Each structure stands twice: as C-alpha cells, then as structure tokens.
Amino acid sequence: MKITKDLYQSSLVLLTDFYQLTMAYAYWKSGKGEQEAVFNLFFRKHPFEGGFTIAAGLDYVIDFCRNFKFESADLEYLAEMKSQDGSPLFEPAFLAYLSQLQFSCDIDAVEEGTVVFPNAPLIRVKGPLIQCQLLETPLLNILNFQTLIATKAARINLAAQGDPVLEFGLRRAQGIDGALAASRAAYIGGCASTSNVMAGKLFGIPVSGTHAHSWIMSFDTELEAFKAYAEAFPDQCVFLVDTYDTLHGVKNAIKVGEMLRSKGKEMIGIRIDSGDLAYFSSQARQMLDEAGFPDAKIVASNDLDEQIISSLKTQDAAINVWGVGTKLVTAFDQPALGAVYKLSAVKNENGDWEPKVKVSQQSLKINIPGLHNVKRYYSQDKAVADMIYLEDQEIDPRGVVIIDPIDPTRRKRLMPAFYKEEILLKPIFKQGEKVYDRPSLTQIRDRASKQLEALDKTHKRLVNPHLYPVGLEENLHHLRMNLVLNAKKFEGEHEES
Ligand SMILES: Nc1ncnc2c1ncn2[C@@H]1O[C@H](COP(=O)(O)OP(=O)(O)OP(=O)(O)O)[C@@H](O)[C@H]1O
Ligand SMILES: O=P(O)(O)OC[C@H]1O[C@H](OP(=O)(O)OP(=O)(O)O)[C@H](O)[C@@H]1O
Ligand SMILES: O=C(O)c1cccnc1
Ligand SMILES: [Mg+2]
C-alpha cells in the first residue's frame, strides 16, 4: 500500500495545477510575488436546478492553510522539472524562496453549514499574489465537492421529511478521499449516519448498517440466516427481507422478532432493497402491525434519490428510514458544482486597492470587484435577502437598494433598520494566524439545519424553486458598471490604434 501511505503522509502543497506554479515563478521573476491581492471563490448557479446550496469544506481548507509549506521532498521534485531545452524549469533562487514561504494571508469565509447563493463569495483570500494564486486549485477542489454533496444530502433529507437518511455510499464513491469527504458532507447536509467506518473514526460521524444479501445466501434458508443474526446481535436486528420473496421474508422476520421478544429483546425492523418500494412497504407495514410489531421500522434502499423519495412519500409508502448511496455521494445528476476563484482587487504602489473586473461577453461571467462582503437580512427569523457590499461602504439603515448582479433591472429596496443582520464572511485567518474557533461537525450540522429552517419553503422546493434575492449594494453596482464600461472603452481604443 505504498501509494496510499505516501499520499496520506505527504504535504499537500503540490496538490495544485501546474500553471499555478509556473505563474508563481513568473510573479516572483517579475517582482510581483509579494504584491497584495484579493481573490473570491463563488459559484454561479445552484446545483441540481435547486434554490439553495449548503457551504461545506472549510475545515479542510483550514487544515490545508495551516500545513501550507513546501517540504524538501516537494522542492526536490520541482528542482527536477525541466524546460524544453533541458535546463531546470525553476531557478534555485525561486525554490529557495518557496522553501522560506510562510502562509500569511487573511482568509474570510462563510461558515460550514451556511445556506449560500450564486455570485456571493464563499471565501475571500487576501494576501501576496503568489500565495493567493497557489491556493486557487486546492480551495476549489475542497469546497466544490463538499458543498455539492452537502447540498445533495440536504435535498434528500428534505424529501425524507424528517425520517432518518443513512448514507451507504462508500462502495460507489469517487475513490478514497471522495468517499471520506462525501460522508462528512452528507452528515453536514443532515444524514443521520454513514456506513463508512473510517469516516466514523476520522470525523466522529455515527456509523450504522444492516446486513447484505450474501449473509442470507450463505445459509440454506432465510429463516436460519435471520436467527443466526439475531443470536449475534439481538439488539440490532434489521432483517433484509427481499433475497427470495419479499413478503415471505417479512413473515420470517416476524417469526424471529417473536423469538427475540420471548427473550426480552425487540427487533429494530426490516429492510427492503428491491421491487416496488411503495407496494412492499405498505404490505410489510400491515403484516408487522397485525403481528404486534407496530414499532418495527421499515428501511428502504435501492438507487434512491430526492425525486424517488418524494414520489414514494406521495404514494404513502410506509417507509421510516432511507438508505441512500450512489446517487448521494456521486451527486449523480450533477457531478460538479462549478465554483470559480477570481481576482477582485490588487494593491498598487501607493498602497491603494484597485478593484478589478474580468469583462466577458456574458454578463453572467463578469466578476464582482473590490473587497466585498455579504450581509444576510432576517425578518422574524426568516432570511429576506443577501446584500453584497464594499466592506468600507456605510449602509443607510433607513433604506438601501440591492441590484441583481446579472439583470440590473431587478432591484429590491430593503430597510436594514427593520431587520436582524448577519455578516456572512467571518475572519478565519489574519496574516496567516488562525483566529477562528473551529466548530464541531455536530455544530456544523445543526447550523445547516437552522439555516434551512430560516429559508422560506418556496426556495427549498426541489423543482422550480422561487429565486432568493441576492443583490449588489448600489455603490458596488455602480463601481462594477464603471469598471466594465471603462474596460470596454480601452479595448476599443486598443483596437483602433
Ligand atoms: N413505488 C416506486 N415509485 C417510484 N420509484 C420506485 C418505486 N419503487 C422502487 N422505485 C425505484 O425504482 C428503481 C427500481 O430499479 P430496478 O428495477 O433496477 O430495481 P429492482 O429490479 O427492483 O431491484 P434490483 O435490480 O436492485 O434487485 C429504483 O431506483 C427504486 O428506488
Ligand atoms: O442503491 P444505493 O443508493 O447505492 O445504496 C446502497 C446499495 O448498496 C447495496 O447493494 P448493491 O447496490 O451493492 O447491490 P444490489 O443492488 O445488487 O443489492 C445495498 O443493498 C443498496 O442497494
Ligand atoms: O448497512 C447496509 O445495509 C448497507 C451498507 C452499504 C451499502 N448498502 C447497504
Ligand atoms: Mg443496487
């Protein structure tokens, strides 16, 4: 197991795209490496055609930044890289610079478990250009995936309407770290437990499970298999009833349930893993009730997702617990979130911040310039709107207009004096020092649940959700428009000359 051993014991600083290192070298060479810059990480569209997204992954980012160090083995590898003519790609003086590099950025971020919306930053990184640049790929790698899975999990849990959802994804997850990170994110999104024992050990997630068809098939009869399992785990029996004939399996489960009861034990329930889950769960419920097991739970699994769970709910399926694997941990219907990381300001020689925009033909792709933050306004504990604003901008409590970043004709007037407010980007690192107390995973999960409660149900609809208002504070909107118009003007002048 050399590969996994090396992987988990090495520094992660090279977990970046090659072009980040070549840019870092060129920044250094041109004397710009230490120039201060600001980058923002944000996504442009909710995943799964949904109306909300749950931020996750910050804890990994914190670990990554705290361990941001080029070790001698990393530098040796870089020293061996060659350019086309066979000479070393990176000058020794640059590698010496990297060896001395100490993480010194300011990072402000939305806390894990926060409901977030398109275009508003999840993370803001302020610091020397080289460091900001080197963080792009790992930050995107971490936050894109965990945010995606936490959101998928939240959707599945909303569909389950409070029933426990057990995460069963390990066997179908995207490799080793994909599985671990998915279990963590699924728990943040509201899942009750994971089948992944290592995720249990690493993150303290409750671990749970039933048994497989192989257990049943290894015996001559299903009844023998159930009995043997009940001998081994008299307090943990969820009998898988569909290996041969589902309703006959329910009868066998009832027999063994009665045997357990005669010993003062109670079976937890049954699991159905195939066939029409509405039909079989209702039949099984009736049989269990009639046999005197009204509290026995019915667990369902088999390629479930939020749409099938919703459908089963409307069919009045008698399912109490949902086992969900593949479609959760792979984010089956949308395999990537698509968050991006964009430069929004640089400090010039006079020490002033210069806001930056990347002009694009698509207004959707024009970034938001400057050093900005996000305020969420709440009225009676419901989130009303998010405002993206320049951090040094005074906000008039009597009234502020927010403007949609994509369609400037969409505007909303807010009266901050009447609302409770929360600033979403919180300080995580100041000049490389961690200033944030990391919450426990349970606290993060609670935050996600409370944040979803604060969101109106129209935004949580799985299909065609109502759009939650997110807008630019007026002055930020004007700054952005002026930068775009100026950039276009210059472009025109260049073309003419
Ligand atoms: N009543 C129902 N309404 C909607 N979808 C259902 C219902 N019952 C089962 N499903 C879903 O339909 C799909 C059935 O898939 P498929 O036909 O491949 O399974 P199966 O043949 O029953 O079981 P398997 O092949 O796993 O042994 C699954 O995704 C399952 O979750
Ligand atoms: O369906 P998922 O959401 O991924 O949940 C996990 C599945 O994994 C197990 O069986 P597996 O799929 O390995 O085999 P089976 O479907 O043939 O029983 C389990 O019985 C579930 O069906
Ligand atoms: O414990 C279970 O029932 C389980 C675990 C993983 C995958 N499918 C089912
Ligand atoms: Mg299956």
pLDDT of residue 492: 61
For the cut 50, the answer to whether the pLDDT of residue 137 exceeds it is yes
Strands 297-300 and 269-272, bridge-based pairing = parallel
Pick from 165, 166, 168 the residue to mutate for probing ligand 3's pocket: most ligand atoms within 8 Å of its CB: 168
| Average of per-residue pLDDT across 422-439 | 98
pLDDT of residue 365: 82
The domains of the chain are located at 153-329
- Does the Cβ of 269 fall within 6 Å of ligand 3? no
- Whole-number percent of the chain with pLDDT over 70: 97
Return the ligand number nearest the Cα of 194: 3
- Does the Cβ of 33 fall within 6 Å of ligand 3? no
- Return the closest-CA partner of residue 154 out of 54, 304, 42: 54
Report the chain's C-alpha Rg in angstroms.
Answer: 27
**What is the pLDDT confidence band of residue 491, given thresholds at 50, 70 and 90?**
low
For the cut 70, the answer to whether the pLDDT of residue 45 exceeds it is yes
CA dihedral 199, 202, 205, 206 (to 10 degrees): 80
For the cut 90, the answer to whether the pLDDT of residue 493 exceeds it is no
pLDDT of residue 243: 98
Q: Specify the residue with its C-alpha closest to ligand 3, atom 7.
A: 168
**What is the pLDDT confidence band of residue 374, given thresholds at 50, 70 and 90?**
very high
pLDDT of residue 2: 72
Distance of CA 77 to the CA centre of its chain: 32
Q: Specify the residue with its C-alpha closest to ligand 2, atom 6.
A: 325
For the cut 90, the answer to whether the pLDDT of residue 489 exceeds it is no
Distance, in Å, from the CA atom of 393 to the CA atom of 39, rounded to the nearest integer, reads 19
Q: Specify the residue with its C-alpha closest to ligand 1, atom 3.
A: 312
Q: How far does the centroid of ligand 1 lie from the alpha carbon of residue 386, in Å? A: 41
| Average of per-residue pLDDT across 317-330 | 98
Residues with Cβ within 8 Å of residue 273, at least 6 apart in sequence: 213, 240, 242, 300, 301, 302, 323
Q: How far does the centroid of ligand 3 lie from the alpha carbon of residue 451, in Å? A: 30
| Average of per-residue pLDDT across 442-462 | 98
Q: What is the ipTM of this complex?
A: 0.97
Pick from 172, 240, 273, 308 the residue to mutate for probing ligand 1's pocket: most ligand atoms within 8 Å of its CB: 308
Give the position, in ligand 2's atom list, of the atom nearest the Cα of 305: 3
The strand order across the sheet containing 321-324 reads 193-194, 165-167, 321-324, 297-300, 269-272, 238-240
Give the position, in ligand 2's atom list, of the atom nearest the Cα of 212: 20
For the cut 90, the answer to whether the pLDDT of residue 138 exceeds it is yes
**What is the pLDDT confidence band of residue 314, given thresholds at 50, 70 and 90?**
very high
Q: What is the mean pLDDT of the chain?
A: 96
- Does the Cβ of 131 fall within 6 Å of ligand 2? no
Pick from 195, 237, 297, 299 the residue to mutate for probing ligand 3's pocket: most ligand atoms within 8 Å of its CB: 195
C-alpha separations of 230 from 233, 235, 456 in Å: 5, 8, 45
For the cut 60, the answer to whether the pLDDT of residue 453 exceeds it is yes
- Does the Cβ of 304 fall within 6 Å of ligand 2? yes
Q: How far does the centroid of ligand 3 lie from the alpha carbon of residue 26, in Å? A: 51
Q: Specify the residue with its C-alpha closest to ligand 1, atom 23.
A: 274
Q: Which of 248-262, 312-326, 353-367 has the lowest mean pLDDT?
A: 353-367
- Does the Cβ of 168 fall within 6 Å of ligand 2? yes
**What is the pLDDT confidence band of residue 495, given thresholds at 50, 70 and 90?**
low
Its pTM surpasses 0.90: yes
Per residue in 69-121, pLDDT tens? 999 999 999 999 999 999 999 999 999 999 999 999 999 999 999 999 999 99
Query: Residues 283, 304: contact at Cβ < 8 Å?
Result: no
3-state secondary structure 403-421: ECCCCCCCEEEECHHHCEE
Distance, in Å, from the CA atom of 309 to the CA atom of 316, rounded to the nearest integer, reads 11
Pick from 272, 301, 302, 330 the residue to mutate for probing ligand 3's pocket: most ligand atoms within 8 Å of its CB: 301
Distance, in Å, from the CA atom of 110 to the CA atom of 123, rounded to the nearest integer, reads 6
For the cut 80, the answer to whether the pLDDT of residue 28 exceeds it is yes
- Does the Cβ of 168 fall within 6 Å of ligand 3? yes
**What is the pLDDT confidence band of residue 496, given thresholds at 50, 70 and 90?**
very low
- Does the Cβ of 138 fall within 6 Å of ligand 3? no
CATH no. of 153-329: 3.20.20.70
Query: Residues 24, 32: contact at Cβ < 8 Å?
Result: no
C-alpha separations of 63 from 11, 14, 138, 346 in Å: 11, 15, 11, 26
Return the ligand number nearest the Cα of 280: 1
Q: Specify the residue with its C-alpha closest to ligand 2, atom 16.
A: 302
Strands 411-414 and 400-403, bridge-based pairing = antiparallel
Looking at residue 334, what DSSP letter applies?
-
Query: Residues 203, 441: contact at Cβ < 8 Å?
Result: yes
Q: At residue 278, what are phi and psi to the nearest 5 degrees? A: -70, -50
Per residue in 433-444, pLDDT tens? 999 999 999 999
Per residue in 146-169, pLDDT tens? 999 999 999 999 999 999 999 999
**What is the pLDDT confidence band of residue 497, given thresholds at 50, 70 and 90?**
very low
- Does the Cβ of 138 fall within 6 Å of ligand 2? no
Pocket of ligand 1 (CB under 6 A): 274-278, 302-304, 308, 311-312, 315
For the cut 80, the answer to whether the pLDDT of residue 401 exceeds it is yes
pLDDT of residue 363: 73
pLDDT of residue 488: 77
For the cut 80, the answer to whether the pLDDT of residue 422 exceeds it is yes
* C-alpha neighbours within 13 Å on the C-beta side of residue 459: 22
Pick from 171, 191, 210 the residue to mutate for probing ligand 3's pocket: most ligand atoms within 8 Å of its CB: 210
Give the position, in ligand 3's atom list, of the atom nearest the Cα of 325: 7
**What is the pLDDT confidence band of residue 487, given thresholds at 50, 70 and 90?**
confident
Please give the structure tokens belonging to residue 8: 């988990």
| Average of per-residue pLDDT across 416-442 | 97
Q: Specify the residue with its C-alpha closest to ligand 2, atom 5.
A: 325
